[in-house]
Amino acid sequence: MRPDTGRAGVVVAGGRSTRFGDTDKATVRVDGVPMIRRVVDGLAPAVDEIIVNCRRGQRPAFEAALSGLEVRFAEDPILDRGPVAGLRTGLQATTAEYAAVVACDMPFVPTALVDHLFAAARTHTGAVPEIGGQRQPFPAVVHVRAGLTACADAFVHQRGRLCEVVDVLDPVVVPERTVRAYADSAALRNINTRADLYEARVRT
């Protein structure tokens, strides 16, 4: 077996974007740049490799959106099992010791926050930010093998939800006052609807 080394970035992008309409939100442009490319650009300076989890049918559009960037794709073997399955697929594709995980609809996560999460996670199972008094599953840094175990546990013994993965992982929680030093609240919002996209475009 190869030793666990380095840092990976995992972008979870295999969802159906049902609240967004008939377009895959990951490829929609925010200030002229595809959303998924913004996510990768934010992760890349903090990691050694980028892995994009997706459905097979999404891959051509993602390859076009990420043209010129060094990324690998981890396709879901079974479709429509939710973000925990996508996270597990992405984590299975790396030999890194730790991975930063971000959803494809979070285009403003700053590199500095990702770096801080890596530092906080060192020697622990992971690190997640606290926003509004709640632990957030994304963005986060997880110990890869611990993350895989937590994903499996969430599927086998619970309901397969991201919050359950966080519960099982029991990561370091970065308090909101610290998170705010790196990112405002808008930077950590998901873009789920056209209204969210409009607000994001105004923000930029």
Residue 53 marked as a ligand binder: yes
The label of the residue with tokens 């697929």 reads 89
Q: Which amino acid is located at 196 in the chain?
A: D
Residue 105 marked as a ligand binder: yes
d(CA 152, CA 25): 28
Phi/psi at 30 (nearest 5 deg)? Answer: -115, 115
Residue 13 marked as a ligand binder: yes
d(CA 200, CA 204): 6
Q: Which amino acid is located at 122 in the chain?
A: R
Residue 131 near residue 189 (C-beta atoms within 8 A):
no
Kindly provide the b/e burial profile for residues 4-43, where b requires at least 16 CB atoms within 10 angstroms of the residue's own CB. Answer: eeebbbbbbbbbebeebeeebbbbbebeeebbbbbbbebb
The closest alpha carbon to 121, from 110, 113, 132, 111, belongs to: 113
Phi/psi at 27 (nearest 5 deg)? Answer: -100, 0
Residue 192 marked as a ligand binder: no
DSSP state of 137: S
Residue 12 marked as a ligand binder: yes
Element (H, E) at 147: helix 144-157
The annotation places the binding site for Mg(2+) at 105
The annotation places the binding site at 12-14, 25, 53, 105
The annotation places the binding site for GTP at 12-14, 25, 53, 105
